[in-house]
Structure formats: structure tokens, C-alpha cells
Amino acid sequence: MTQRLSFAAGIATQEYLTAEEGAIRAHEEECTHWYVDMSLPSDHAHEWPQPRRRSLVKMASGLGVRPIVHGNFRAPLSTEIPEVAAGVQAYLTAELQLASDLGAPLIVHGGALADPRPTESGRWNALQRFLRALEQGLSAASGLGVEVWVENLAHYPRFRPFTYVFTRYADFVTVLDYLPEVAFIFDIGHANVNQSPPLRLFHEMTSAIKAISVSDNDGRADSHLGLGRGNVPLKELTDTIVKTHWSGLVAFETRGAGVDEGVHALQAHLAG
């Protein structure tokens, strides 16, 4: 399937299935990769005894697909509570060990700030706490031979009980300045929520973006719609990818729409 998307070094599917079911689905959809989703109860970090890890590695090899460990986005990596920060660092180490055992990259997220009216200073402080946690995580990842990809979450400015951390263009710049070795997975669906997706990132940090995640929405919430069913600027995305000669893994997180449909949607924009 990667041959049908000129810029795709690999194609991943996220079907919100157990790790084993996801591997089978990825094979059926002719994908190269699939998500092992740590936010699913079946795949929480404590649900991975060694026999299951070995079994999944064997299964993936037989099916010809490779895992990507999608870290639990609920992990509070930006917490201001020292005791919680220590616990979440231990949790991150468990995700890193799983990724190492599976031979997979690990996707991490900034967590959330519990504040219905977040200030800019509050967002900044939360991002700084995330940076410190990420720095420790990258150090541990290096020793385990794991590549870490930082994923942006949806931007909810106000009037929700929380706001996510690491959501905006300036956040990418801050993280890369602080950790020049960092790698990103750019989620354009998340980047479309309550803001215009910062496609300039592909011009400014092409080599740092190792993967993209694609889905659609109406700009108000992260709906994970099939491509073309919302207002995510897909044509602008493909034009930018072509102009910058970007190449990397493309992950489809589209509920109710298959990977093949998404590939055809991107192909149409490339040809248009």
C-alpha cells in the first residue's frame, strides 16, 4: 500500500482493537504498522506479561507487520504534584520497556492541565514540566534503544474542565529548542481543533517529523472522522508535503473509515 502514497515510508492503522486483533487487521488492510494502544484497558502497561510480549513479536513477524506503541495519552506527564510526577516517570519507563521488548517506537503526549480557564503562564509552566519529564524519558529510551515520538494533542482553549499540553505551533518550537534530538508525530486532526494547523512545521523542522497521523473533524472537537468528512486542510497538507519533500510513516486514525479509503483521499489531493 505504501507504493500508492509516494511520501509514505510506511502506513499504520489505529483501529482501537487489542494489540493482537490490531495486528491481524493491519495485515488484512495491507498496512506495514499498527498501533498498540496503551489507553485501552486490555493493553494497559500491567497487562503485558513476558509470554504475551513474546507471542505478539512472533505474531507480528508472521503477519509481516510492525507495532507502534501508542502511549497512554492520559498519563499526567505535566503534573505539578511531585509524588505524581515520580509515579508517572515510573509508568513511562514501563511503556518504554514494552516498546523495547516489541521493537517499536513509543508515542508520548503532554498530558493535561486541569483548569477550565487556563492562563498562558499556566500553559507555559505545564509545558516546562512536560519537558523535564520528557528529558528523563528520552534518557531512558536511549538506554533501551527506543525511538520516542512526541504527538500533539487537540487544542481546547477554555471552558472545559481541562486543556491538553503540547498542542500548538509554539509548543513544537519550545520542545525542539530544549531537546534538539526530539522526534515528532504530527497529528493534523488534533492540529485542526480550534486553530489552523501549523503546516509551516514541515518547512521548519522536516527532519524532526518522523510520522503524521491523519483524520478529519469540523474544527471544534477531535472526532476522528474519515478523510473528507470535515474541514481538515488535506490539500494544503499534501501540497506542503510535496514542496518540502517530506517522507515518513502515515498513520490513519479514522473511525468508521478504512485505511484504503484514506489512502485514496490523499491520492486524490496529490493528483489534484
Higher pLDDT, 160 or 144: 144
Query: Per-residue pLDDT tens for 158-186?
Result: 878 899 999 999 999 999 999 999 999 99
DSSP, collapsed to helix, strand or coil, labels residue 152 as coil
**What Rg value do the Cα atoms of the chain yield, rounded?**
18
Collapsing DSSP to helix, strand or coil, 173 comes out as helix
Domain with 202, as residue range(s), is 2-271
On whether the pTM is more than 0.85, the answer is: yes
How far is C-alpha 269 from the chain's CA centre?
A: 23
Beta carbons within 10 angstroms of residue 208's beta carbon: 19
C-alpha cell at 272: 489534484
Number of domains in the chain: 1
Q: Identity (one letter) of the amino acid at 49? A: P
- What is the DSSP secondary-structure string of 178-203? H-TT-EEEEEHHHHTTTS---TTHHH
Backbone angles phi, psi at 62, to 5 degrees: -65, -35
Model pLDDT for residues 212-266, shown as the tens digit of each residue: 999 999 999 999 999 999 999 999 999 999 999 999 999 999 998 999 999 999 9
Residue 13 has pLDDT above 70, yes or no: yes
Query: What CATH code is carried by the domain that includes residue 236?
Result: 3.20.20.150
**38 vs 157, which has greater pLDDT?**
38
pLDDT of 126 reads: 97
Output the nine-digit C-alpha cell for 36. Answer: 498498540
Residue type, 130: F
- The mean per-residue pLDDT over the stretch 90-104 comes to 98
Confidence category of residue 1, pLDDT binned at 50, 70, 90: low
| Whether pLDDT at 2 is above 60 | no
